[in-house]
Amino acid sequence: MKNKTILVTGGTGSWGRELVKRLLEKEPKEIRIFSRNEALQVEMKQEFHHHPKLTFIIGDIRDQDEIMQACQHVDYIYHLAALKHVPICEEQPDSAMKTNVMGTQHVIQAAIKNEVEKVIYVSTDKASHPSSTYGMTKALGEKLIVHANLRDSKTQFICVRSGNVLGSAGSVVPIFKQRIEKGVEINLTDSRMTRFFITLEEAIALLFKATIESRGGEVYVLKMPACSIKDLAQVLIEDLSTAEIPIHVTGARPGESLKETLISEFESSNSISLDDHYYVIFPPFHIEGLQESYATSIPVEFHSYHSDHSLMSKQEIRGMLQKGGFLA
């Protein structure tokens, strides 16, 4: 990354801020933060003390001209911009489609036109076996990114697939903490619900792993733990409150599934265990030299990778929350 120009779409979010912080350590030439939110850009400028290597660009990936201009003379793109909240995408599928699918296609076209070296697309476990509009649009985004490697261009396109990032904006842990601090009941959609979790530190390590080792066409997946959301709520209550905080089951929301899938049954036949921490999913079509470059890695032994398998104990959940800085 030294002396490189890097574009981060959706760069004012939780992933983006942590990524920018870590990228600055690698002495890049310039980091461009591209997002729609003016207020968050102002806040982020102050947070980074108006760092001279940071350029803030107000723009929307749904506007092809804006993203095309932002990609000029760029070496790497981290494509984080998305509509990600399941209920919002269910209520406004047209907006989800425009941002998560058409916006991703605009990033691909801009990267090819500007001869970007690599594009790293951040996907989600909800894309593997989608039950929601959000999952479906992110799955289509993955397909577009992976298939872009078949185009006659110098750009390599790679996906990373993540579970829930601990503490990201609007996610379950900060919401639960806020309600516990107020002494009000926690709303849980279903007591059987399980989810994969990843810390911000692990998320950025996943991005860098994919950036450094990929050849184009892979989906990188972190081997990540899963837990019961009910157990997660109970651990937070036990550690943050002396009062009894009730848990109210409201029923699953539209598009919401009880479990998530990081690698589907269809994908497992094209997946390898890269090392102790990562899996790689290959595309269902041939890319010159891709599979051969991973010849020493072993195929996965499972048929699918679901969040309701091998759940963390409460003590392990507590350790995860402490590691993420949410419990002392």
Q: Give me the active site residues, please.
A: 126
Element (H, E) at 316: helix 314-323
H helical segments located in 36-171? 38-47, 64-70, 86-91, 93-96, 103-113, 133-147
Element (H, E) at 9: strand 5-9
Cα(293)–Cα(300) distance, integer angstroms: 17
- Three-state DSSP class for 116? coil
Cα(144)–Cα(105) distance, integer angstroms: 7
Question: In Å, what is the CA distance from 40 to each residue of 35, 53, 173, 204?
Answer: 9, 18, 21, 20
Compute φ and ψ for 177, nearest 5 degrees: -60, -45
